[in-house]
Amino acid sequence: MDYVDNPKQNHLLAALPAAEFERIAPHLKLIAMPLGDVLYESGGKLQYVYFPTTAIISLQYVMENGASSEIAGVGNEGMLGISLFMGGNTTPSRAIIQTGGHGYRVPAALIVQEFNSGGLMMRLMLRYTQALITQISQTAVCNRHHSVEQQLCRWLLLTLDRLPSNELTMTQELIASMIGVRREGITEAAGHLQQAGCISYRRGHITVLDRSGLESRVCECYAVVKTEFNRLLSDVCVR
């Protein structure tokens, strides 16, 4: 796999001014993030903060009976570890690699120290946290009020936004687990999208053929999340 070692592929790290980035740069460690790896379980305390570059992390709530549903995704637009500087230290969710790739990790204590210094790092983390809360809230609304096909379109578009290509390696079973619906519902919804020429699906591989077609079928939840991320983070370097 051709991979360029560059932490600024992560948008949060890229948004930092040179002085703040250089303080943490020596502590950033490039790591592989294989599909299915669990970064923490419910109630676990993170020793590191993670900044994905080509990987995507799924934040999931796991029920007592083992069923799970995704509450948010974290890709190159964000970071994993907001509980550390928000004061809670742990969360009831699980973090698992949804799309394999790479990312950077940095010791949690260093990020907490930077946050507590009150500089742009603090502004950046707080704005990202608000954007992530919007994503979590909108996911809950979407799962309650919109069709499985609309949810699938939202999920596909948000995933595409975090990837450099239009190819996804994902089984229908895994997508169903992420969205929290039965596999049969995903099979039917994916079939409709394939018949419409929006996607091609075979053997766990999804190719998006017509992004505009997905955008025409998705509910408003996708635009709400995307607009809020852009609003909160596009001007974060402006003092």
Q: Residue 65's pLDDT is what?
A: 81
Q: Residue 4's pLDDT is what?
A: 61
Domain annotation covers residue 128: no
Q: Outline where 96-203 has alpha helix (H).
A: 108-116, 120-145, 148-161, 172-179, 183-195
Domain annotation covers residue 76: yes
Domain annotation covers residue 141: no
Q: Residue 165's pLDDT is what?
A: 87
Q: Residue 233's pLDDT is what?
A: 82
Domain that holds residue 206: 147-218
d(CA 56, CA 225): 16
d(CA 164, CA 143): 27
Spatial neighbors of 188 by CB under 8 A, at least 6 apart, are 148
Q: Residue 237's pLDDT is what?
A: 47
Q: Residue 34's pLDDT is what?
A: 94
Q: Residue 180's pLDDT is what?
A: 77
Residues 92 and 19 both lie in one domain: yes
The segments of the chain whose pLDDT lies below 70 read 1-4, 235-239
Q: Please give the biggest Cα pair distance in the chain.
A: 54
> What's the structural domain count of the chain?
2
Question: How much is the pTM?
Answer: 0.89
Write out pLDDT tens, residues 56-71. Answer: 999 998 877 877 788 9
Write out pLDDT tens, residues 173-225. Answer: 888 877 878 889 999 999 999 999 999 988 888 999 999 999 999 999 999 99
Find the CATH number of the domain harbouring 152: 1.10.10.10
Residues 177 and 205 both lie in one domain: yes
Task: Report how far apart, in Å, the C-alpha atoms of 1 and of each of 4, 54, 74 are.
Answer: 10, 12, 22
Q: Residue 236's pLDDT is what?
A: 54
Domain annotation covers residue 26: yes
